[in-house]
Amino acid sequence: MLHKEILSVIAIVLTLTAFVPYIRAIFDGAIKPHVFSWVIWGATTFLIFLAQLEDKGGVGAWPIGVSGSITIFIACLAYIKRADVTITKTDWLFFVAALSSLPLWYLTSDPLWAVVSLTIVDVLGFGPTVRKAYYFPHSESLLFFGLFTVRNLLVMMALENHSVTTLLFPAIIAAVCVLLMMMIAYRRRVFASKASVDNGFL
């Protein structure tokens, strides 16, 4: 039990370690979060936290609760700072699809179906950020998503009850973070290669 609490505390520290410089970078204008993504992530992460508690996730759910609270703050910050106000039809599609999944939380008393629904919503929330990062790969932080990948792995180890309900969300989000980092790294190489070619002709 004690080792799970220690893992949970480490996961919370990693969460704060990722968020503090990310928030600072938003104020500095170096990072431009997409408001739609963060609204979706904030709502779903906090609801996942409640579902994990219901399924006796225990101390392993704490980092998710902390993350959900800070994510909601970043969503507000993204709106106030107008960090990324470019909203396309595709972004609206992701947003509407995400919201359409939320009623399942109220239609079932089984936390598993709530977690499945909310995990889908959260993954859909990556849509606008993926689109933005594809065209502007330097507008997101590889370190940030890397820390969250490690954080989610620690959350999985710290959970007091291992079930599909408690494990699904952190496992899927860790995988999505890895894929997003791979895409960002690839696009940065493409941009760097293009810049080198362009400079060669100058």
Mean pLDDT for 62-69 is 91
Residue 143 burial (CB count, 10 A): 12
- Give me the pLDDT at residue 25, please: 85
Angle at 117 between CA 113 and CA 119, to 5 degrees: 115
- Give me the pLDDT at residue 40, please: 79
Question: Residue 139 phi/psi, 5° resolution?
Answer: -85, -5
Residue 39 burial (CB count, 10 A): 21
Tokens of 179: 């894929």
pLDDT confidence band for 66 (50 / 70 / 90): very high
- Give me the pLDDT at residue 172, please: 95
Residues 6+ apart with CB under 8 A from 29: none
pLDDT confidence band for 119 (50 / 70 / 90): confident
The whole-angstrom separation of Cα 26 and Cα 86 is 16
Q: Enter the pTM of the model.
A: 0.78
Residue 55: burial class (beta carbons within 10 Å; 0-12, 13-18, 19+): buried
Mean pLDDT for 1-9 is 81
> For 86-107, what is each residue's pLDDT tens digit?
677 777 776 776 666 667 666 7
Positive/negative CA dihedral, 91, 94, 95, 96 = positive
The whole-angstrom separation of Cα 114 and Cα 111 is 5
- Give me the pLDDT at residue 177, please: 95
Q: What percent of the chain has pLDDT over 70?
A: 87
Q: What percent of the chain has pLDDT over 90?
A: 27
- Map out the domains of the chain as residue ranges: 2-194
pLDDT confidence band for 113 (50 / 70 / 90): confident
Tokens of 15: 């969460």
3-class state of residue 33 by DSSP: coil
> For 42-59, what is each residue's pLDDT tens digit?
888 888 888 888 888 888
- Give me the pLDDT at residue 200, please: 61
Residue labelled with tokens 């800070």:
70
